[in-house]
Amino acid sequence: MITAASFPTPHLALRSNDPAQTAAVSEFAEHQAHAANTIPRRYLRLNTVTARTLGDLLDELHAWRWRLAKGHGDPRGGHGVDGDAARFMTTISSAGANYDRLGAIGRMPVNPRWDEASHSYVDGEPTPASRIMEHYGAIARARLQAAGVDELHTEVRLPDGRRVVGNSLVRGERARELAAELIERLRSRGLDTSRFDTGQDSDPVYAITADHADRDTMREAALQTLADAAATGGHADRLAAWRTSRFLLFQAPHMKKGSDAVTRVFLVAVGAWLLDTAPVMQQDADLRCMTLGQVDAHTMPADANLLPQNDTR
């Protein structure tokens, strides 16, 4: 039985220091556990589970996330400017790449103050969300600095040896251009951007999702890797396949909103079936895969329960 313990609340979702609000946000794990226990059954009980089978499961989980948003709003509060449920079924390919800002983001502390001069939110009480975004913003900035570039593309090696380009980290003028484009996107949706802080007047860092073809290739490779491991692999091979697929799927989000929750439910459900133990999702798995690169994001601390006793790899 998969429980809510497999879905620790991402720190990015914790934008309050109020225990009651934190508890309310953390209840989303119950939705995820219920989905992981029920939706995959008819897919994973087949005699032969193929990459196509797993793709159908992913599609149904996206529909689950959309229904949840449509019926209850965003149970986790969301990370953006509106709660439009349609965006949970709007593909990135049709609406344009996701731009995720990293670093100090003024709206994430509690009670920030709007500063008109800098066109940004300042001050406020730090939260788990603000701290973790500053942490990964510093990592992204350090990688860009070490490479001596303003745009760093994630090199991704697929299990069959092919290479594709994953997401990108950007700073400098390119990041400011993205910030301005993001404002225009929001305005085109009829949203008030007068106090929307994109960092365009400072020195922002953004992560950009991979292009359509590479995302499709990574998603297909992840599903095929899991299907192959189920057919032939022992525990070590299956664990390696699951970890590889985790990175590929977080690098290949499908919808404008909701892909993170869907990926977590999928990985826990398929992991429990593949490894005979329900994985515990690393709370910051998405940010690790977004910023660290393939090698450094392959293993995560929360994987410990999947390892043989005394094995710390």
Shared-domain flag, residues 202 and 112: yes
Q: What are 154's strand-pairing partners?
A: none
Shared-domain flag, residues 119 and 194: yes
Shared-domain flag, residues 282 and 297: yes
> Which pLDDT value is given to residue 187?
87
Q: What are 157's strand-pairing partners?
A: 163
89, part of any domain: no
Shared-domain flag, residues 75 and 217: yes
230, part of any domain: yes
Tell whether the model's pLDDT for residue 166 goes beyond 60: yes
> Which pLDDT value is given to residue 195?
78
Domain count, the chain: 2
Contact (CB, 8 A) for 88 and 255: yes
Mean confidence (pLDDT) of the chain: 92
220, part of any domain: yes
Residue-wise pLDDT tens digits, 78-109 = 444 555 899 999 999 999 999 999 999 888 99
Which of 208, 232, 254 is the endpoint of a domain?
208
Shared-domain flag, residues 140 and 176: yes
> Which pLDDT value is given to residue 80?
46
Q: Tell me the residue range of the domain where 103 lies.
A: 95-208
312, part of any domain: no
pLDDT band at 158 (very low <50, low <70, confident <90, very high): very high
Shared-domain flag, residues 266 and 201: no
Segment 142-150 shows an average pLDDT of 98
**Following CA atoms 58, 60, 65, 68 in sequence, which dihedral angle do they give, to the nearest 10 degrees?**
-160
Shared-domain flag, residues 25 and 61: yes
182, part of any domain: yes
Shared-domain flag, residues 100 and 200: yes
Rounded-to-integer distance, Cα 9 and Cα 15, Å: 11
Which of 155, 179, 208 is the endpoint of a domain?
208
Tell whether the model's pLDDT for residue 238 goes beyond 90: yes
Q: Which of 81-85, 113-117, 180-184 has the lowest mean pLDDT?
A: 81-85
191, part of any domain: yes
Residue-wise pLDDT tens digits, 42-79 = 999 888 899 999 999 999 999 999 999 988 765 554 44
Rounded-to-integer distance, Cα 13 and Cα 257, Å: 14
Which of 208, 223, 238 is the endpoint of a domain?
208
256, part of any domain: yes
